[in-house]
Structure 1
Amino acid sequence: MKIRTRLTILFTLITATILLAFASVIYISAKENREKEFYSLLKKEALTKANLFFDAKVETKTLQDIYKNNRQILNEVEVAIYDSSFNLLYHDAVDIDYVKETPEMIDEIYHKGEKQFYQEKWQVIGLRYEYENKNYIITATAIDQYGYNKLDSLLKNSIIVFVISILFIYIAGRFFSKRAFDPVKEMTEKAKVISATNLDFRLNSNGSKDELSELANTFNEMLSRLENSFDAQKNFVSNISHELRTPLAAIITELELSINKEKNIIEYKSTIQNALGDAKKLVRLSNSLLDLAKASYDPTEISFKQIRIDEILLDARQQVQQVNPDYKIDIVFENEFENDNQITVNGNEYLLKVAFANLFENGCKFSKDKQSSVSIGFEKEKIQLQFSDKGIGISEDDLKNIFTPFYRGENKQFADGNGIGLSLTQKIIYLHKGSISVQSKQHQGTTFTVELQTV
């Protein structure tokens, strides 16, 4: 069942329930009011007849004639008067006698003073009446045919109006739900044509702040993220293909030449060394890609714990110097720390080690003296790391794109690389909710400043 139909039915049921409750209250109130008003009328008639009988001394036959004459045209009130000993003093129509009074009934009315009850549809009221210091019992009864007819008419009209109202409400609900869901239907039709080839397509938004506009804006924002992701993926695949093709082509060429042409041992060794160098490039590239993938994970899927930054820096230095023994790396504390919390962060040990190793390696690789240093400073709830070198520096044009994946600037002629290291480092630092910036002057050196939150 579609939401439109479900909402229409739900709206109709809710409205029907409210109307039914409203009609029930009106009918019950009308019924109770009719009953109270008719009991009041019976009481007045009973007292009037008693006053005529006792005070005015109207003859019994005269009162009975009045009753019989009125009964021909309307439902006259039948009145009976008893003394306290259950002796009948007056009765409008003994032959009819709707009440059928009994000694027990008279005694109950006498003690209670007043009693109201039904005899089938006939309403009866019994009163204790005092006259000349004597107590009498008066009963009065009649059927409120006019009131019952009004109640029946009210019930029938209520049912008719209720049914017509439900039909009208259902039709109106279908109409307004269609109007309300037309924008959703339009969004659905447009969303169906969106694919990987036209992610630049966007849903229309009316510019208001209603839920549908918010949905359209949210969907458009999602499409923008997907479009950026697809574009990044295309660029990533294109760059990876290029980076992989170059060393693979070099390895294949070297090996084919060594097979097709007889060489001496020295030449074979040279070929093997060249192929080995290209193979190492592939290994470094694959490792960098794996680290880049890890740094791109959802932060909730990466384990974080409290780690000391100085220990991570020592491990990163050792890792770099194991591969490049001629690299010199210094770790300097600008000021002393008072407790371990100042040098402890909440992070992933492996990823931070990769980031710091990349900064160490870059500093040494692009310096003639193969030296790099990091200074550690402490601020309030922050730790600042400055990775410095006195290398060839970075031009102003390259500084703008230095964190772009696979970007290689003018320094690519100075040392090999694949353009992943700095973009990977930035991702890792951002993953740890830190910041990284760079300052550089050509032929004077480069300084990368990293700030991380302490625990």
Structure 2
Amino acid sequence: MRIRTKLAMLFTAITAAILLLFAVSIYLSYADYREDAYYKRLKQQALTKLRLLLEAKVEPAVLNVIYQNSPNALFQEEVAVYDSRFQLVYHDDRQGDFVKETPGFLHSIQHHQEVQFEQRGRQVVGFPYQFQGKTYLVTAAAYDEVGLSKLENLRITLIIAFLLGLVIVALLSRLVARQLLKPISTVVRQASEITATNLDRRVEEGNGRDELAELAITFNQMLDRLEHSFDAQKQFVSNVSHELRTPLAAIAGELELASNKPRTTSEYQQVIMRTLRDARRLTHLSNGLLDLAKASYDASEISFRELRLDELLMEARGQLLHQHPEYRITIVFEQEIEDDHLISANGNAYLLRVAFSNLMENGCKFSPDQHCTVTVKSLSDLCRLSFIDEGIGISDEDLPHVFTAFYRGQNRTYADGNGIGLSLTLRIISLHQGCISVKTEPGQRTIFEVELPHLKSPL
């Protein structure tokens, strides 16, 4: 069932319930009012006839003649009067006595002051009356033809009004639901026209204030992220293809030249060395791409545990020196740290070693003396690691793009690289809720500062 139909049905059902409650309340309220009013009228008519009989000394026969010749004798009040000994004093219609005044009934009137009830559609009232020291028991009964006719007309009117109102509400609710959900239909239609080839299109956001506008705005924000992701993926594939093409072409060219004609052992050794260099470059690039993909995972999919940052720095230093014995890396602690929690962080050991190794390698690679200094400082809520080199620095033009994947600035002529290291490091540090910044003096030095929240000691 469509939401439009559900809303129309729900609104109709709620309105029907309210209208029904309103109609029933009116009907019951009027019915109670009619009943109470007619009981009072019965009592008043009985009192009038009783005063004529007792005070005005009108003969019972005369009152009976008046009753019999009334234009509506069938439904007019039938009054009966008894004395305290339950002896009949007066009765409007002895032959067609509607209310049988039994001794029990008269006794209840005598003790309860006033009795009201219904009998076969007629209302009956009984009450005692004091006159000249004597007690009379009076009963009156009648059928409220006019009042019940009005009540029946009211019931029919309410039923017709309820059904007619229900039809009108059903039509209006369907119209209103269609109008209210029209923006959703527009969003659905526009969203169905958006494909991978036109991700730049957006849906209408309406007035920008109601919930439907919020839905459209959220959907457009999702499209912004998808478009950015698609563009980044295209750029990534293009850069990877370019980076892979160069060493592969070099390897293929070296092997083709070597196979054209017989060569000396020395020449073959040179070809092997150049091919090996390009193969290592491919290996380094593929490892960087794998690390970059792993650092792009959702944080919930990566295992984290408590780690000591000084131990990770020493491990990253050892791995890098094993690969490049010519590098020199110095780790300096700016203060004595006695609490292990002040030098610890919650993280993934492999990824943090990769990030620290990239920063150390970057510092050594662009320093004339291939030396990088790492300083460690523990602050109130974080650890600050500074990777310092005395190298060529970074130009003002290249500085905004230093963390862009595959970007190679003016320093590409100084040392080999593929432009993945710093981008990978940024993602790893961000994954660990940290931050990284760079300070540089072109031609003198570069400082990369990494701040990671540490584990505070338990209280």
Do they superpose with TM above 0.5?
yes
Specify the code of the residue in structure 2 equivalent to 1:203: V
Secondary structure in structure 2 of the residue aligned to 1:136: strand
Q: CA deviation at 1:390?
A: 1.1
Instruction: Give the Cα separation in 1 of the matches to 2:315 and 2:112.
Output: 103
Sequence identity percentage: 51
Q: CA deviation at 1:315?
A: 1.3
Instruction: Give the Cα separation in 2 of the matches to 1:419 and 1:140.
Output: 109
What's 2:196 paired with?
196
Secondary structure in structure 2 of the residue aligned to 1:251: helix
Q: CA deviation at 1:275?
A: 1.9
Instruction: Give the Cα separation in 2 of the matches to 1:338 and 1:91.
Output: 115
Query: Any conservation in 1 of the 2:372–2:388 contact (CA below 8 Å)?
Result: yes
1:274 is the counterpart of 2:240? no
Instruction: Give the Cα separation in 2 of the matches to 1:339 and 1:397.
Output: 42
Q: CA deviation at 1:443?
A: 2.8
Instruction: Give the Cα separation in 2 of the matches to 1:140 and 1:188.
Output: 74
1:94-136 superposed Cα distances (whole Å, 9 cap, x missing partner): 1111112222211222222211111111000111222333332
What's 1:5 paired with?
5
TM-score by length of 2: 0.95
Query: Any conservation in 1 of the 2:390–2:446 contact (CA below 8 Å)?
Result: yes
Q: CA deviation at 1:16?
A: 0.6
Secondary structure in structure 2 of the residue aligned to 1:70: coil
1:5-51 superposed Cα distances (whole Å, 9 cap, x missing partner): 11111111110110000000000001111111111111112222222
Please identify, of 198-207 and 65-74, the stretch whose mean Cα deviation from structure 2 is larger.
65-74
Please identify, of 332-341 and 134-143, the stretch whose mean Cα deviation from structure 2 is larger.
332-341
Query: Any conservation in 1 of the 2:80–2:90 contact (CA below 8 Å)?
Result: yes
What's 1:384 paired with?
384
1:149-168 superposed Cα distances (whole Å, 9 cap, x missing partner): 11110011111111111111
1:175-215 superposed Cα distances (whole Å, 9 cap, x missing partner): 22222122221111111110111111112223431112212
What's 2:126 paired with?
126
Instruction: Give the Cα separation in 2 of the matches to 1:261 and 1:383.
Output: 60
Number of matched pairs: 455
Unaligned 5+ runs, structure 2: none
1:255 is the counterpart of 2:255? yes
Specify the code of the residue in structure 1 equivalent to 2:413: Q
Could you say if the C-alpha distance between residues 108 and 433 of structure 1 is closer, same or farther in structure 2, counting changes exceeding 3 Å? same
1:405-450 superposed Cα distances (whole Å, 9 cap, x missing partner): 0001111122211100001111111222222111222331211111
Query: Any conservation in 1 of the 2:67–2:73 contact (CA below 8 Å)?
Result: no
What's 1:321 paired with?
321
1:394 is the counterpart of 2:394? yes
Secondary structure in structure 2 of the residue aligned to 1:443: coil
Please identify, of 113-122 and 428-437, the stretch whose mean Cα deviation from structure 2 is larger.
428-437
1:200-247 superposed Cα distances (whole Å, 9 cap, x missing partner): 111222343111221221111111111111110000000000111111
Instruction: Give the Cα separation in 2 of the matches to 1:245 and 1:69.
Output: 123
Specify the code of the residue in structure 2 equivalent to 1:79: V
Q: CA deviation at 1:395?
A: 1.4
Q: CA deviation at 1:338?
A: 4.3
What's 1:34 paired with?
34
Please identify, of 357-366 and 197-206, the stretch whose mean Cα deviation from structure 2 is larger.
197-206
Q: CA deviation at 1:73?
A: 6.5
Q: CA deviation at 1:63?
A: 1.2
Instruction: Give the Cα separation in 2 of the matches to 1:62 and 1:312.
Output: 124
Q: CA deviation at 1:3?
A: 1.1
What's 2:144 paired with?
144
Instruction: Give the Cα separation in 2 of the matches to 1:67 and 1:344.
Output: 110
Q: CA deviation at 1:69?
A: 2.3
What's 1:222 paired with?
222
Instruction: Give the Cα separation in 1 of the matches to 2:171 and 2:260.
Output: 87
Specify the code of the residue in structure 1 equivalent to 2:114: E
1:305-337 superposed Cα distances (whole Å, 9 cap, x missing partner): 222211111111112112112211111011122
Q: CA deviation at 1:261?
A: 2.2
Specify the code of the residue in structure 1 equivalent to 2:321: Q
Secondary structure in structure 2 of the residue aligned to 1:346: strand
Specify the code of the residue in structure 1 equivalent to 2:371: Q
Secondary structure in structure 2 of the residue aligned to 1:271: helix
What's 1:163 paired with?
163
What's 1:415 paired with?
415
Instruction: Give the Cα separation in 1 of the matches to 2:49 and 2:128.
Output: 14
Where in structure 2 are the equivalents of 1:62-81 lying within 5 Å? 62-72=62-72, 75-81=75-81
What's 1:25 paired with?
25
Secondary structure in structure 1 of the residue aligned to 2:332: strand
Instruction: Give the Cα separation in 2 of the matches to 1:33 and 1:27.
Output: 10
Unaligned 5+ runs, structure 1: none
Please identify, of 131-140 and 442-451, the stretch whose mean Cα deviation from structure 2 is larger.
131-140
Specify the code of the residue in structure 2 equivalent to 1:34: R
What's 1:425 paired with?
425
Secondary structure in structure 1 of the residue aligned to 2:19: helix
Specify the code of the residue in structure 2 equivalent to 1:285: L
What's 2:113 paired with?
113
Instruction: Give the Cα separation in 2 of the matches to 1:208 and 1:270.
Output: 68
Specify the code of the residue in structure 1 equivalent to 2:271: T
Q: CA deviation at 1:52?
A: 2.0
Instruction: Give the Cα separation in 2 of the matches to 1:442 and 1:34.
Output: 101
Please identify, of 274-283 and 233-242, the stretch whose mean Cα deviation from structure 2 is larger.
274-283
Specify the code of the residue in structure 2 equivalent to 1:89: V
1:14 is the counterpart of 2:22? no
Instruction: Give the Cα separation in 2 of the matches to 1:129 and 1:190.
Output: 86
Secondary structure in structure 2 of the residue aligned to 1:256: helix
Q: CA RMSD in A?
A: 1.6
Specify the code of the residue in structure 2 equivalent to 1:418: N
Please identify, of 90-99 and 389-398, the stretch whose mean Cα deviation from structure 2 is larger.
389-398
Specify the code of the residue in structure 1 equivalent to 2:138: I
Could you say if the C-alpha distance between residues 94 and 71 of structure 1 is closer, same or farther in structure 2, counting changes exceeding 3 Å? farther
